[in-house]
Amino acid sequence: MRKFAALALVLLLAGCSLGSKKEVPQPTPSPDLSGKPPAIAVLNGPFASGPVRAPEKGALVGAWIKPDELTHVGRLAAVDSLETDLGRRLSIVNTYRRFEQMVGTSSDKEFLSQGATLMVSWATGDNRSILDGEHDDLIRKQAKAIRKIKKPVLLRMRWEMDRPNLRATMWSGNDYIAAWKYVRNIFKQERANNVSWVWCPTAEGFIRGDAPGFYPGDDQVDWTCVDVYAGENFQPIGQLMGPFLQFAAQHPKPIIIGEFGVAKAWGSAARAAWLRDAERTFKANPQIKALAYFESDPEGNPATKQFQLTGDKLAFKAFHALVKDPYFNP
């Protein structure tokens, strides 16, 4: 009887131990970030990149910096703060616009006057309603607004169009391609010739295999682009965007990394290592001519989707080393 009681106690304790292991998440092993990444995007150019010219050597550096307030003063303060910490101006300032929000705000003009190139991430609407002509006036208004600033602009028309949660408004790759051509034709009619057209899906879309189906064609695209994050899946950036780089190497366009970031969930040391590996990866792929960090902690997001580097000493130091490298100051 005592033996059975002792056995029951052992089994009970073992069950408690197993239960506690389920409640405490185990850390994900860090990938090896020490090796030199393979150069997959092997095209060296020169590239016909539209009005925003790709540098012959090296790559331009920019960012999206989430302001405390979405106002003229707030936007300027956010960019100025990061530039002060970095000790240099950003070559590219990423800015997001809803379909009805026009380019050419006071802050846009200020960034342009400081020598930055605007990258406008424009959230166009339902592709089929665009093709039905429901938004022609709005599209023409935006084309005129961009033409009026008289400076070259990178335009990401409905970036990340391949995301599954956008399928209700994107409909299909064919619908997106048709809408892209429709919008671009209106810009041509309005003589908005200062636009470099940037096609920018997600790295996940190339891993799934559906992103290429949204490509409008080499005659329609000036820059290929990808958004890539070490968020919930902590892998080296070269591995995360490897399928995209293989695709891009088949198209004679310069590459811009439209958004990239490494989440706070992985800790300072791992974030710093990931950024150092990102620097090696960018330099090993000569087709990559520009990149923009996503310097933001979106409200309501978990730590796996918080990417701000400011305040993280080790991670920021790694990013600072990247932006001070002569390769990223062409």
Give the residue numbers annotated as catalytic, written as ranges: 160, 259
Nearest-CA neighbor of 123 among 170, 91, 175, 172?
170
Residue 225, strand partner residues: 256
Using only C-alpha atoms, what is the Rg of the chain? 23
Instruction: Classify residue 300 as left (phi > 0), alpha (psi -120 to 50) or beta.
Output: left
Q: Phi and psi (nearest 5°) for 25?
A: -65, 140
Nearest-CA neighbor of 61 among 297, 293, 316, 279?
293
Give the separation between CA 97 and CA 146, rounded to whole angstroms. 13
Give the separation between CA 161 and CA 204, rounded to whole angstroms. 12
* End-to-end CA, the chain: 81
Q: Are 275 and 319 in contact (CB under 8 A)?
A: yes
- Neighbour-count burial for 112-140, b at 16+ CB within 10 Å, e otherwise: beeebbbbbbbbbbbbeebbeeebeebbe
